[in-house]
Structure 1
Amino acid sequence: MKKLTVVVLFGGQSSEHEVSCMSAANMIAALDEEKYDVLPVGITKKGNWRICHGSVDAIREGRWEPYSVDAILSPDASRKSLLKLVGSKYKEIPVDVVIPALHGAWGEDGTVQGLLELAQIPYAGCGVLSSAVSMDKVYTKLIAKAAKIPMAKFFWCDGRFLAETKEKVMDQAEKKLGYPCFVKPANSGSSVGVSKAKNREELEKALFYAAKYDRKVIMEEAIDGREFECAVLGNEDKHISGIGEIVTTAEFYDYDAKYHNALSRTIIPGEAEAEALAQMRKISEKIYHAVDASGLARVDFFMEKSGRVLFNELNTMPGFTSISMYPMLWEEEGMSKTELMDRLIALALERDNGIHG
């Protein structure tokens, strides 16, 4: 059987560059070498695309650039190729499927997905529309609201005009949300740029901090409860995993708590009433459908002390690091990382066949 040529895209220009490298390294390590010829393609923080010939560890540890050469994915649909620099010329390498293991802006937000649609190359994960609206927390919540999915109260503003509007914005946030509240960039992941504000002074600082990462800033009601996550896998035929719980000693599950705090941990399966766990699985399927997701997604929840379940957000390219919940939830179901990668590639080809015939 002919091997499929699989490009794994990693790195990128977002604040989640390092997390993407870790996710991609684990994906590459899980891909079956008997089935796939794997081409790791890193995107530097400056936006330079390079094919990496270094080890998986070099990618994981972020020291891959010295072992790479220029390469670019052609948007030409007649080529369906990666163009690799060899000497002073580019060599064309046909590509069967791409795994965009990119987190955050310029990767998880529909931009790379649009490039791959132009190139007509099958790719793992959600399409342009679902990637874009799921990356933008404001639009995700507007869709969830329209679908009557329960969630925390929220309010958003344009961060570009904070200098002139901050007093009005803070007045409205205090009226609608109260303290404490969370302040986040609308388009960011791994809790980058997120703050918890307990008073007006902290709210002002949090607004300007979030605005460094995105032009839209969202404020949310603080929920006193526990955090849970659910994995979804599939296109039209969806598989919903069991539920995992996030436990952290930090005040909230921020970037450091996720990746640098040894005391943060996951509990699989999550410990909650069966009714609450069933509701999380039901909402996961509902929001997955509402944003027109495909391939994979992770859906995050809060559960209040009363047992009330609230939708938090949907991640269209969830982390694949050694501590990431998404692959662990499927391992709990008996699916290894290698089997999961096989499934993601099969779903990519299935979706592409449905679009392009």
Structure 2
Amino acid sequence: MSQSSRRKPRVAVVFGGRSSEHAISCITAGSVMDAIDRDTYDVVPVGIAADGRWVLESSDTSRLRLTTPGALPEVDGDGDSIALLREEGRTDIVVSAPSATPRTLGEVDVVFPVLHGPWGEDGTIQGMFEMAGVRYVGAGVLASAVSMDKAYLKIVLQAAGLPVMPGVTVTEREWRADATGCRERIAALGFPAFAKPARGGSSIGISKVHDASEVDAALVEAFRHDPKVLVEVAAVGAREVECGVLGTLDGGVETTRPAEIRIGGDHEFYDFAAKYLPEEHTELDVPADLPAEVEAEMRELAVRCFEAVSGEGLARVDFFVMPDHSLVVNELNTMPGFTQTSMFPRMWAESGLDYPALVDRLLQLALRRGTGLR
């Protein structure tokens, strides 16, 4: 490692971004920054505004908390500009302000990108970090890109022999050119179904389609967020259960005990409000009440999913437990919800790794990992 032994490793926590999950990323960043041990690490908060501008953000994490849907936190794009400068075998953080000489904050040793959605969780920023020669937390370019695109993830998991729900992909171009044909392909799947942005997250843009009359509206809503939409058969009667995967410092992989989401109120599925607003009465059973053999199979499948996409660092694998106890993989998230109350940290806490220790594990994994091909 290039940093001097006389100083603490410098962590750039990068958050915000250009995707529809900008606010969720801000919330996650606040939790992560609060958890990082300042006696061990120096922390630099780096925000990416909705227009893509990189800025030096405030260290005040109180403003990054979620209160109501109408008061979502966001990056203040008026701050001083930030850039990563690679030269002489090191990568520095450089700050630029109007009418001022650029100044360096020093070498960055590791980036913790708490970005969700496109341009952050999809391999784009991971590629930039690779080009800049800086270590970073989480999955690499390939795993990030494949896992972000639910349509391609389905192809990869199927090729690896893993169980997935039947589905079809519809692009906005196909919809404009042949709406009738698209409707016929979706109808052939059967109803109910779910239409979701192929590269979205946090349940933004997802609709449950009960019958053919709801197809058009569901696609239009999903196209607002992504020109590619995945329509999948609904897992009727299934339980939604998740399993966490985490790298170990000796190069191995371990999993959590699974946890179950039980949706309260009037929600038909685990939508944005059910995920993030406490008054929505969603119940999280940590651990899930599963037969021992089903839990063991789920944990094995979670590792197989992680390996199928060449995962690194962490992932949350989401399953449907069907009424006959068979398992179907729903999604794999390379940067899952990461607030202290999110499912991934809660599963690890139940498994004996509390939130600060989890954050430290991820930083240590990243610091030990090189950049480039591996």
Map of 1:247 onto structure 2: 262
Match of 1:181 among 178, 189, 193: 193
One-letter amino acid matched to 1:241: T
* 1:157 counterpart SS class: strand
Letter in 1 for 2:18: Q
8 Å Cα contact 1:75-1:116 kept in structure 2: no
Unpaired segments ≥5 residues, structure 2: 1-5, 67-72
Aligned to 1:257: 274
Select 2:53's aligned residue among 45, 48, 57.
48
Q: Distance in 2 between matches of 1:75 and 1:316?
A: 26
Checking the alignment, whether the CA contact within 8 Å between 1:9 and 1:43 is kept in structure 2 is: yes
Aligned equivalent of 1:12 = 17
Shift of 1:244: 0.6
Distance 1:31 1:15 in 2: 26
In 1, are the aligned partners of 2:55 and 2:82 still within 8 Å (CA)? Answer: yes
**Residue matched to 2:79:** 68
* Cα distance per residue 1:307-349 (max 9 Å; x no partner): 1111001000011124311111111111121111111011112
Determine if contact 2:151/2:230 at 8 Å carries over to the other structure. yes
In the alignment, structure 1 segments of 5+ residues that lack a partner are none
In structure 2, how many angstroms separate the alpha carbons of the residues matched to 1:64 and 1:156? 33
Distance 1:219 1:85, change over 3 A: same
Q: What is the letter of the counterpart of residue 253 of structure 2?
A: K
> Where does residue 349 of structure 1 map in the other structure?
367
- Equivalent residues in 2 for 1:211-230 (5 A)? 211-224=223-236, 225-230=238-243
1:125/1:294 contact within 8 Å kept = yes
Whole-Å separation in 2 of the counterparts to 1:301 and 1:112:
27
Match of 2:205 among 184, 193, 209: 193
The CA distance in 1 between the partners of 2:76 and 2:296, in whole Å, is 45
CA distance in 1, matches of 2:127, 2:77: 29
Contact 1:75 1:115 in 2 (8 A): no
CA–CA distance in 2 between the matches of 1:116 and 1:63? 23
RMSD, aligned CA: 1.8
Within the alignment, does 1:129 sit opposite 2:146 as a pair? Answer: no
Distance in structure 2 (CA, Å) of the matches to 1:88 and 1:352: 35
Aligned residue-pair number:
355
Question: Could you tell me how far apart the structure 2 residues matched to 1:353 and 1:132 are?
Answer: 17
After TM superposition, give the deviation of residue 157 of structure 1 in Å: 1.8
The residue matched to 1:89 in structure 2 has which SS?
coil
Residue 206 (structure 1) aligns with: 218
Contact 2:49/2:74 (<8 A) preserved: no
Partners of 1:53 and 1:67 within 8 A in 2: no
Q: Does 1:85 align with 2:96?
A: yes
Native 8 Å contact 1:54 1:64 kept in 2: no
- The change in CA–CA distance for 1:259 and 1:138 in structure 2 (over 3 A counts) is same
The yes-or-no answer on 1:321 pairing with 2:326 is: no
| 1:138 match | 151
Question: Compared with structure 1, are the counterparts of its residues 352 and 201 closer, same or farther at alpha carbon in structure 2 (3 Å cutoff)?
Answer: same
Specify whether residues 214 and 354 from structure 1 end up closer, same or farther in structure 2 by C-alpha distance, changes over 3 A only.
closer
In terms of mean alpha carbon deviation, does 145-154 or 46-55 score higher? 46-55
Structure 1 CA distance for aligned equivalents of residues 240 and 150 of structure 2: 17
Deviation by residue 1:217-246 (Cα, 9 ceiling, x = unmatched): 111010021101111111741011110101
* Deviation (angstroms), 1:125: 0.1
> 1:169: how far off?
1.1
Distance in 2 (alpha carbons) for counterparts of 1:209 and 1:353? 39
Distance in 2, Cα, partners of 1:354 & 1:120: 8
Q: Does the CA-based 8 Å contact 1:160-1:211 persist in structure 2?
A: no
Relative to structure 2, which stretch is displaced further, 255-264 or 55-64?
Answer: 55-64
% identical aligned pairs:
40
SS at match of 1:214: coil
* CA shift for structure 1 position 355: 5.0
Residues 263 and 69 (structure 1 numbering): CA distance in 2 closer, same or farther, change over 3 Å?
same
